[in-house]
Structure 1
Amino acid sequence: MLKNNPQVKFVSVMGVDLGGNTTDAKIPIEIFLTDMEGFLKNGVQTDGSSVVLPEIATLGDAKVDLLPDTESSWFVDYNYDNPYDEKRYVGTLRIPAFLVHNGNFVDSRSILKRSLNFFEEKVREALKEHPHLLTNIGIDDASNIEEFLFTAATELEFWVKTPEDSEDIEKLSTSQNLKEQYWKRTQGTVRTALEKTIELMGKYGIEPEMGHKEVGGINSTIGINGKQNHVVEQLEIDWKYSDALQAGDNEILVRELVYDTFTSFGLEVTFAAKPIADVAGSGEHTHMGVAVKLNNGKIINLFSPKEMDNDYLSLIGYGGLLGLLKNYEAINPFVTSSTDAFNRLKPGFEAPVCTVASLGNDVKTPSRNRSILVGLIRDLTNPMATRFELRSPNPLSNTYLVMASSYQGMLDGILATMHIEDPQTLENEISKSAQTEGIYLEQNRQYRCEQDIFHDFSAHERSNLFGKTPETVWDNFHFFQQNEEKQATLLNGNVFTKALISSYKTATLDRWKEELLHRIIPSNMEVVREFVKSHNIEGSTDLDVVRWEKILKLRSYLVKDSLEQSSLFTRLRDALNDGQLDKASELQKEMNCIMSELRNLYSSYKRNLI
């Protein structure tokens, strides 16, 4: 195939480190063809200290092998800026790979693969030991199961804009509140770029299902040159599910297609979770399910009960959902791992902040509660559709680790409840009140809610019912460290190891500190400096003077040091540099509150000026 397609001039192995970064090393195809079998068997060496594997690939022990995954789907990455001839472009054969250090597989893809293998092994054993689990899903004998199918899917939300245009937050917020953009018709270059992206996805076999506008954005304008100006739009692209490992690979490819296509039309693309303050962020709801293929070719969804009208879930499905919820303190650090991600998880923006699930108003009426963490997706006419929708990930979450930790949590719940024969017992368990002691779930916590948790509960009530919510990266790991039993869930089957968890924690906290010191604080300082005095004595009122005095006081508190007291920014820097992470986390929360107050106050101040 390669010899018949000379436009494919390079090969590259695509490993994914613990930070979700992919490798891409251009190797001339001639070198690959001289010893293709050796290349596929032994891979290539790289400098592991340059990827996110701290405490594993160190400066003194940096050799890492990129080992091609011969069981995955490979693809050709074409460079549309580099023509090969009049009809073709230069391409690179991208081969998904594993990262191996001293004989140990240490990358995100291998962690997910281990979790899937371990899940299958333990659930097979459970099905053999507890025949009632089989009866509940309509299978006669465990020996009839040929293979497990881990079905998963993500979706991609992102913002696009014309370069050098600044966002008008008030216009964006107003448009969002008026629902002027959601699912509206795309126009101009945005429409063309979206259509071309969807066409490319189809050519790669990713099976796109839909592309549309999301809730964020404002109408663009047409310049004197006839081209669109002031483009600021939020979009979403969806595609068909696949097996879990392939779902992770597909997501990387789709992000690359989106970025390359939209930038070729002169548009900037961001996959950030919260690129614009006070406007809807971008999520990446992750759908996960498990099915089995029988010897006769029939496929059975392990999460669907035999009688769809009688129960929300099968016994295995209930166990999986219970495990996902109970162990979420251990799962969350692999889902929400950056300040940007936490900026999205704010009440009121349809982003989940509480560990709680929704099953539906009743068994025969599936519903979608958009305020909860985990949604049960059901279709009474299609048992294969039953799955869990985890709503907390964002476009820059490491999907491999999100799914690996989630399947580990699900497995814990399945194994803990596999002896229970009555589905009603497990429905009662997930529906218990916070005051009721659970057979598996924790007391003083409620895990199911069919209400709007933002509208129907205060922040205090949410905290009491659903547990305290982490607000910073450090909070997340603090809660993680407090739950040793839940940490152990990740270690089961050697899926995660203590070394891998420690490496991931170090990398994530280092990034948190680095971003605060060198991006977030400097960016906030620039914002504060832009809030300047704009009124004069002749045209001002006493309200203008009072507001400006408040603004001036907040600006000084944030930025100005004195002999008596350091500013908030200085205290935050000092805490980070001194390793006082508890203190830094609290100061970050205070900074976020004051910056929000300052923005709102300055906006009110400017509106009152003539």
Structure 2
Amino acid sequence: MENTLYTIKDNFKAPDQLSSLLKQHPEIQFVSLFAVDFGNNHTDEKIPINRIIDDLESFLKKGIQTDGSSVYLPEIATINNAKVDLIPDMDAQWIVDYNKGHPLPGGGFSGTLIIPSFLYHENVPVCSRSVLKRSSEHFKSTILKLLKDSPEYLRDYPEISNFDEIEAVALTSATELEFWVKTPDTHMDIEKLSASQHLKEQYWKRTYGQVRTAMEETLLTLEHYGFEPEMGHKEVGGVTSKLAGTNTFTHIMEQLEIDWTYDETLRTADKEIIAKDIIKDVFEAHGLNVTFQAKPLEGVAGSGEHHHVGVALKLKDGKNINLFSPKDMTSNFLSKLGYGALMGILKNYEVINPFVSSTNDSLNRLKPGFEAPVCIVSSLGHAPQIPSRNRTVLIGLIRDLSNTHATRFELRSPNPNSNSYLLLAALYQAKLDGIQAVIHSNATLSDIESAFNKKAGEPHFYLETPRVYRSEKDVFEDYSSSERDALFGVPPKTVYENLLAFGKYPEKVKVLMQNDIFSEKIVRSYRAYMLSEWSTELKERIIPTHIRTIRRLDKLHGNEEITDLDVLSWEYINRIRHSLMKDSVASKSLFTQIREALDAENYDLASNLQIEMNDQMGLLLKKYLDYRRNLMITNHL
């Protein structure tokens, strides 16, 4: 496929040039407008090229219409007012997706032109991509105005003599995508996975067989699409597979990570979704299941997707100036505006978090003990001269003393199913709020640095008095649970608790809504979407899965070779089983209570009961494993 067309360059997006290009590539047989709703679901309709090629100008301007059944925008595209328009984004990266399972008679494979697009309802953009686009544009224009009105802040950047030298503001971001792969029907032995994780047997080890082949093919495919992949490697989770033939393995269960280079923020979010589709296609073609769940297996490492964000000033002479890098990298961690951006994220994180952790699965990952951040706290490093990485904090400063362009923030809480569009948009709104606070404070860099290191109870011109916002310690080892809650805030335990932040912190919600980036309607729609997803999954998927698990936890001992401990252990296990799922005339099980609370829309009660259920299921599985270990028989969960 030497002449395969993978991307459409900007100079070929005009109707005449695009028509000519498509006629030269008859293998491109379909077009799909790629739009993203608030649930991070993207559209993928197949429109035959021959239906639009004679009127591309109209198609690129007006897109297509749908009755709204293909997207979910609660309280916006309602069932009695559901018409939605999909309008192509002429500034996005367009790619051609090839179906390797559909070879063409003349050679090659059937291709689909993928065009990132916006969703419009009543002529107003109402999709994840449009929120990020508005947020990016607002951030850029506001930064330029702030620097023009407060030129003294330009003195922090020696390369700039005056404001007129600035051409534009550039927002860059990148993600680190982790995921699990396994051969179908592979048994999940939690004990082996946990032992392998603690022994670091898989971390950055060599890949073998079809995993290696799929990894290499994925990296090469991403290269074709201009992603500039940086690396692929094994992560901490997994167990050793078994050789079944020449370069063929069975019982595969491995955690992997694939990274690619930075891009403009909207393209970064698009690339993430496209990359996930590519990864699934390639690995599944090699007989491997792929999951992007945040916590597919309880008791072992979950999959994160750290988000890196940076801001630069583009100068008219071609130079790029990192907005966050200080004048002296060996004396200071950040510039004044860099501190402002970081403080904005930390102060407003309670209303950013609903876009980060919006599923049951995501909150299962964010628990102490698995290097997953649960505390609103940052790390800068032990000294400006020695950058360090603290993996226990929510957000860390990444810097390179020899490269000022590398200064950025790494948000460690997102997972592969986080909505990166809304998440990044919320981050930019929050950063802007912090930057404005720093400028209005007129504080010196020394004062800002000192104030950022505040202790609990010390007042601050912007940050909240009771809280601490920086720690270079191990958050999980050096603080007790109660200390963490007091210093960094109490983390939500359920999706419902997380969504309550929209009502609990109205002043922080106003930060999101500044310049109508997140309108009240959008916040309500997103909340309604995630509340429905949470309650439906809890009732229709999580509880049935727990029931199947409980039914597999059989009594294993007979009357031979047992001790009184075995008898007592089983009795304790059986009591937990009954309390979770067995109703009686006198009482209702925990599962029944949750179902009834959800049916009655008593979400406070359902959320509290879910926390109790999670604790009881964890205890049940632990006790059952202990019980099984003490028996002289062979059995599996």
| TM-score (structure 2 length as normaliser) | 0.95
Which residue of 112, 116, 119 corresponds with 2:132? 112
- The sequence identity of aligned pairs, in percent, is 52
Q: Answer yes or no: is the 8 Å Cα contact 1:49–1:57 preserved in 2.
A: no
Q: Answer yes or no: is the 8 Å Cα contact 2:43–2:70 preserved in 1.
A: no
Secondary structure at the aligned position of 2:410 is classed as strand
Q: Answer yes or no: is the 8 Å Cα contact 1:429–1:441 preserved in 2.
A: no
Which residue of 294, 316, 328 corresponds with 1:273? 294
Which residue of 183, 189, 201 corresponds with 1:162? 183
Q: Which whole-Å deviations, capped at 9, do the CAs of 1:451-492 have from their partners, x for residues lacking one?
A: 110111111111011111101101111233110000000100
Aligned to 2:444: 422
Which residue of 60, 63, 68 corresponds with 1:48? 68
Aligned to 2:531: 509
Q: Answer yes or no: is the 8 Å Cα contact 1:49–1:58 preserved in 2.
A: no
Q: Which whole-Å deviations, capped at 9, do the CAs of 1:321-364 have from their partners, x for residues lacking one?
A: 00000000111101110000000001010100000000000111
Q: Read off the aligned partner of 1:557 and give its amino acid letter.
A: S
Q: Answer yes or no: is the 8 Å Cα contact 2:219–2:229 preserved in 1.
A: yes
Which residue of 335, 341, 345 corresponds with 2:362? 341
Aligned to 2:169: 148
Q: Which whole-Å deviations, capped at 9, do the CAs of 1:252-276 have from their partners, x for residues lacking one?
A: 1110110000000110000000001
Aligned to 1:400: 421
Q: How does 1:92-107 map to 2 (within 5 A)?
A: 92-107=112-127
| Partner Cα separation in structure 1 for residue 559 and residue 404 of structure 2 | 71
Matched, 1:518 2:573: no
Deviation at residue 223 of structure 1 after TM alignment = 2.6
Deviation at residue 170 of structure 1 after TM alignment = 0.3
Q: Read off the aligned partner of 1:565 and give its amino acid letter.
A: S
| Partner Cα separation in structure 1 for residue 500 and residue 62 of structure 2 | 40
Q: Which whole-Å deviations, capped at 9, do the CAs of 1:223-267 have from their partners, x for residues lacking one?
A: 368731100000000100000001011111110110000000110
Q: How does 1:77-476 map to 2 (within 5 A)?
A: 77-85=97-105, 87-138=107-158, 139-223=160-244, 227-419=248-440, 420-476=442-498
| Partner Cα separation in structure 2 for residue 65 and residue 258 of structure 1 | 29
Matched, 1:583 2:629: no
Identify if the C-alpha distance between structure 1 residues 225 and 200 changes in structure 2 by more than 3 Å, giving closer, same or farther.
closer
Q: Which whole-Å deviations, capped at 9, do the CAs of 1:287-339 have from their partners, x for residues lacking one?
A: 00110111111110111112212211111111000000000011110111000
Aligned to 1:499: 521
Aligned to 1:571: 593
My pick for the range that moved more, 375-384 or 422-431, is 422-431
| Partner Cα separation in structure 1 for residue 327 and residue 103 of structure 2 | 55
| Partner Cα separation in structure 2 for residue 501 and residue 360 of structure 1 | 35
Q: Which whole-Å deviations, capped at 9, do the CAs of 1:129-174 have from their partners, x for residues lacking one?
A: 2122111123221221111110100111000000011210000000
| Partner Cα separation in structure 1 for residue 320 and residue 130 of structure 2 | 26
| Partner Cα separation in structure 1 for residue 586 and residue 258 of structure 2 | 54
Deviation at residue 85 of structure 1 after TM alignment = 4.2
Q: Answer yes or no: is the 8 Å Cα contact 1:371–1:452 preserved in 2.
A: yes
| Partner Cα separation in structure 1 for residue 540 and residue 45 of structure 2 | 29
| Partner Cα separation in structure 1 for residue 319 and residue 244 of structure 2 | 58
Aligned to 2:51: 31
Which residue of 554, 557, 569 corresponds with 1:547? 569
Deviation at residue 538 of structure 1 after TM alignment = 2.0
Q: Read off the aligned partner of 2:595 and give its amino acid letter.
A: R
| Partner Cα separation in structure 2 for residue 225 and residue 577 of structure 1 | 54
Secondary structure at the aligned position of 2:234 is classed as strand
Deviation at residue 87 of structure 1 after TM alignment = 4.3
Aligned to 2:23: 3
Q: Which whole-Å deviations, capped at 9, do the CAs of 1:51-70 have from their partners, x for residues lacking one?
A: 12011001111110000000
Could you list the runs of 5+ residues in structure 2 that have no partner in the other structure?
A: 1-20, 633-637
Could you list the runs of 5+ residues in structure 1 that have no partner in the other structure?
A: none
| Partner Cα separation in structure 2 for residue 52 and residue 370 of structure 1 | 36
| Partner Cα separation in structure 1 for residue 27 and residue 247 of structure 2 | 36
Q: Which whole-Å deviations, capped at 9, do the CAs of 1:404-442 have from their partners, x for residues lacking one?
A: 001100000001111324112221222111121111000
Q: Which whole-Å deviations, capped at 9, do the CAs of 1:4-25 have from their partners, x for residues lacking one?
A: 1110000111001111111111
Q: Answer yes or no: is the 8 Å Cα contact 1:474–1:581 preserved in 2.
A: yes
Secondary structure at the aligned position of 1:35 is classed as helix
Give me the CA root mean square deviation.
1.0
| Partner Cα separation in structure 2 for residue 194 and residue 226 of structure 1 | 14
| Partner Cα separation in structure 1 for residue 484 and residue 65 of structure 2 | 50
Q: Read off the aligned partner of 2:346 and give its amino acid letter.
A: L
| Partner Cα separation in structure 1 for residue 239 and residue 580 of structure 2 | 32
Number of equivalenced pairs: 610
Secondary structure at the aligned position of 2:87 is classed as strand
Matched, 1:22 2:56: no
Matched, 1:605 2:627: yes
Q: Answer yes or no: is the 8 Å Cα contact 1:331–1:406 preserved in 2.
A: yes
